[in-house]
A and B are shown apart, each in its own frame.
Chain A
Amino acid sequence: MIHSIPGRRFILSLFLIFLLLPIYWLVNMSFKTNYEIISTMTLWPHQPTLDNYMRIFTDESWYSGYINSLKYVVLNTVISIAVALPAAYAFSRYRFLGDKHLFFWLLSNRMAPAAVYALPFFNLYSAIGLFDTPWAVALAHCIFNVPLAVWILEGFVSSVPREIDETAFLDGYSFPRFFVKIFMPLIASGIGVAAFFCFMFSWVELLLARTLTSVAAKPISATMTRTVSAAGMDWGLLAAAGVLTIIPGALVIWFVRNYIARGFALGRV
């Protein structure tokens, strides 16, 4: 085979095992009792238990973390896509004053370190009374998700031939009607991919989410760092909580498998 390299199956299998092993260990731990975790080294749970999961689903301080996270993640995804769609269309179709600088400025915000913004965000959202609400985190996450959505959608919009726009306008469609009735269905898959990545990047972020919430809107990632260290190390519970945060990604991954590279590369592949 001229395409690939010798021993490729071996290399690939080794790497995939390397990827899966730590995840397997987390799943393994989540089904063990704390006694089994600490006392013996077992490669699979000898006395499998669902207690860890039961505790998360019955204890409000745990499951409310998931609900809070979902709230701001969904809010953020909706806001990001809603504002990014028209912008992506404009960047793809028109040239206007400062378009290139604006495009770069957006990229630079995607790259801005969250640590820089943690404190000013804290001040800003406290001042306008949004601190400890899902809105604060949703708006804060816009700083990296809106640029991401614009960049991804721009690629998808550019792949739609311009003749379609022109034909629709000749047929007497107004811009908003054309955009909603004709254009959005055409790039439905692009919207799906952009939404997935906004969801994902908001879901995996911890620093801003933790800084901007205290009690009422505490996300699951913060619950994991706080509760566990306060109650001593409850490894089984921690592992179960971790497994549950992986599930949303694992569920939809199949549908976006062909777009993963594109989404992570800001639509530039």
Chain B
Amino acid sequence: MEKTINQKAWFLVLPVFLLVAFSAVLPLMTVVNYSMQDTFGNNQFFWNGVGWFKELLDPSTDLGSRFFASLWRNLFFSAAILAIEVPLGIVIALSMPRQGWQVAACLVILALPLLIPWNVVGTIWQIFGRPDIGLLGYALNSLGINYNYVSNDFDAWATVIVMDVWHWTSLVALLCYAGLKSIPEAYYQAAQIDGASRWAVFAAIQLPKMNRVLLIAVLLRFMDSFMIYTEPFVVTGGGPGNSTTFISIELVKIALGQFDLGKAAAMSLVYNLIILIVCWVFYTVMTNAGVERPMKEKKP
């Protein structure tokens, strides 16, 4: 359906524009302002130009090394959870019952972790993983595995990743399930008549139909894991040492912990820029995928 051109529509968008500008652009300007200045307290600011940015992007300085360390850590974390959650989500979506009350029951249980406050997700795993009082920690240790997420780097990482898989795999599964449900029954009947194998059905019918939802799932999961803060903060506090300090945790440490406004602001801007670029790439791919879709659907 063609949309009509109507510039007065701006009046309808104006409230949103003003509100988001107030809560996004205004603070961002403060950040830009801080990022160019240095302070010795007492609200005395000194012009520092691009000094903070130079320091930030130079891995040999303290700030730069911390930034890049947390950046790589975060990218590794995002890659790890995507590698687990996307395939697992597809498998779960394919395993969903077709009809009856089981569908509703499964949907509700799947959605449950998504609706839990993030700090409570942290609390749940903090308790669940403790060797003394948690079921998981206790069970692993009685099996002879020396598991302690507070003191061991690997255990801390494993806990944070398993927690994220627990928290967000349902999202991927629910999205894929929604994609699968939109496949008309006739496709399957045609495949059956052709004697297609189970794998062929998946590769030729189900996966192409899930393309779009998978794209959204990857976008959302990448973004949310790239700005993860609360859950690992509650469970590990970024430790042991700095081993699970992701970008957001590092940033909050610098900004609110040390009150190093200039450094934090410069880091915020670079961080935001990365997010903006990734977001734009996905948005472009997503809109293009939406345009191509009607053409593909001509052959049922």
Contact = CB atoms under 8 A, between A and B. Distances in A.
Nearest to A8: B95
Contact of A142 (B19, B107, B213, B216): B19
Interface residues of B, number: 104
23 contacts: A5-B94, A16-B106, A20-B109, A82-B15, A90-B9, A90-B12, A95-B9, A102-B17, A107-B279, A111-B279, A116-B271, A118-B255, A139-B23, A162-B1, A204-B117, A205-B117, A206-B119, A207-B248, A224-B119, A225-B234, A238-B123, A260-B174, A265-B178
Interface string B206-243: 00000011001100100100110110001000000000
A142 B20 contact: yes
A105 B133 CA distance: 46
Contacts of B134: 25
Interface in A255-269: 257-258, 260-262, 264-266, 268-269
Interface stretch (B25-33, B48-56, B145-153, B292-300): B25-33
Given A206-B118, A266-B216, A257 B108 contact: yes
B95 A12 contact: yes
A96 B118 CA distance: 38
B209 to A, nearest CB: 12
Given A113-B275, A246-B120, A90 B280 contact: no
Contacts, number: 297
Contact of A119 (B3, B108, B256): B256
B111 A221 contact: no
B117 A245 contact: yes
Instruction: Determine the main DSSP class of A at the interface with B.
Output: helix
A97 B229 contact: no
Instruction: Determine the main DSSP class of B at the interface with A.
Output: helix
A146 interface: yes
A221 B279 contact: no
Interface string B158-179: 0000000010011100110111
B252 A5 contact: no
Interface of A: 2-6, 8-9, 11-12, 15-16, 18-23, 25-26, 29, 37-38, 41, 43, 79, 82-84, 86-87, 89-91, 93-97, 99, 102, 104-109, 111-124, 139-140, 142-143, 146-147, 150, 162, 200, 203-207, 211, 221, 224-225, 235, 238-239, 242, 245-246, 249-250, 253-254, 257-258, 260-262, 264-266, 268-269
